[in-house]
Amino acid sequence: MNPLAIVVRRVARTLLLLLAVAAGATALVRFAPGFFSDEREMDAKYAEGARSRMQAESASDQSVAAIAVREIKGWMNGDLGESRQFQVPVTALIAPRIEVSALLLARGILYGWLLAICTALPASAMRRGRRLWDLPFTLLLATPTAAMATACILAGSGGPVLVLTLLIAARDFKFLSRILRTAWSSPHLLQGRAQGLGLTALTLLHILPNVAHRLRALATLSIVTALAAMIPIEVIFNVPGIGQLAWSAVMNRDLPVLVAVSLLMATVVALANMVSTGPRTMETA
C-alpha cells in the first residue's frame, strides 16, 4: 500500500477516535444523575416556582445537541470552555498539570521498563527456576493500584513513582519474558551461544534487533497502563496532575474539564500507537 495512504488512514482513524471519545464523555456526563443541579436551588430565597424554571432552563440549554455544538465551536476557536467547578478556563487548569503528570509517567515507565528488562532477560535464559522469578511480579500484578499506593502511605516509604514503576514492571515482565524466551530458542541464538558469545553480545547483536518491533508495540501498552493507573495514584498521593483533575471533574460532573482530559489522554494513546506500529506497517507495505 502507498505510504501516503497509510498515513492518511491512520490520521483519519485517530480523528475518529478523538471524536468518539468526546461524544462518549459528553453523553456519559450529560445523562449522569444530578447534572442539571444548580447551586441556586439550595438557596431558600428562591421559591419553588423559580427553582422549577431554573431546572427547565438548564434542561433546554444542556441537551446533547446543544452541548455538542457548543463544544465544537469552542474547539475550533481554541477554547476548551470554562470549568463548571472552578469557574476558570479549562486550559488554565490543564496547562500547569501536564508537566507534573508527564514527568510522573516518564519516570514510572522508564524505571518500570528497566526493572522488567533487567529481570526478564536473565530469567528468560534460564531453563529452571523461572517460576521463582515470575512469583513477585505475579503478586504485584494481582495487587490493585490503590492498594499498593495505600500500603506505601501506611508504611511511610515509597511514592507515586515507585507504585507506577512496580505496576509497569509487573505488566511488562510477563510479555518481555515470553518474547525473550522465544528469541533465546531461535537457531541463530543457539549458534551464537555455541560459539561462546556472551550475554551482552547476544542481547545487543541478536535479540534486540529481532524483537524491536514487538517492543514498540509493548511500549504502547505501557503508556495505556500508566494512564489508567495515573488517576488513583495521583488522587491517593495528592499529586496535582491531570489524573487528580480528571477525578475531581468526574466527582463534580465538570463536563468541559472531563472532555478536555479525555481528549488529551486519547491523543497520547493514539499518537503512541501510530509511532509504535507505523514503521512496521510501512515496511510491510
Q: Which domains does the chain have, with CATH numbers?
A: 91-284 (1.10.3720.10)
Q: What confidence tens digit (pLDDT) does each residue in 158-180 have?
A: 899 999 999 999 888 888 888 77
| Cα–Cα–Cα angle for 166, 172, 178, rounded to 5 degrees | 140
DSSP readout, 100-152?
A: HHHHHHHHHHHHHHHHHHHHHHHHHH-SS-HHHHHHHHHHHHHS-HHHHHHHH
- What integer pLDDT is reported at residue 160 of this predicted model? 94
- What integer pLDDT is reported at residue 68 of this predicted model? 66
Q: What does the block give as the cell for 27?
A: 453523553
Average pLDDT over residues 265-271: 83
Residue 188 pLDDT > 50: yes
- Mean pLDDT, all residues of the chain: 77
105 versus 135: which is more confidently predicted?
105
- What integer pLDDT is reported at residue 276 of this predicted model? 67
Cα separation, 228 vs 103, whole angstroms: 16
**pTM: predicted TM-score of the whole model, two decimal places:** 0.74
In percent, how much of the chain has pLDDT > 70? 67
The residues pairing with 82 across neighbouring beta strands, listed in sequence order, are: 89
Nearest to 163 by CA among 172, 152, 171, 176: 152
Strand, helix or coil at 82?
strand
Q: What does the block give as the cell for 84?
A: 463548571
Number of CB atoms found within 10 A of residue 103's CB: 12
In percent, how much of the chain has pLDDT > 90? 18
Helix boundaries (H) for 143-207: 145-155, 160-184, 187-194, 199-202
Q: What confidence tens digit (pLDDT) does each residue in 82-131 have?
A: 887 888 888 888 989 999 999 999 999 999 999 988 888 777 767 676 67
Average pLDDT over residues 236-245: 93
Residue 199 pLDDT > 90: no
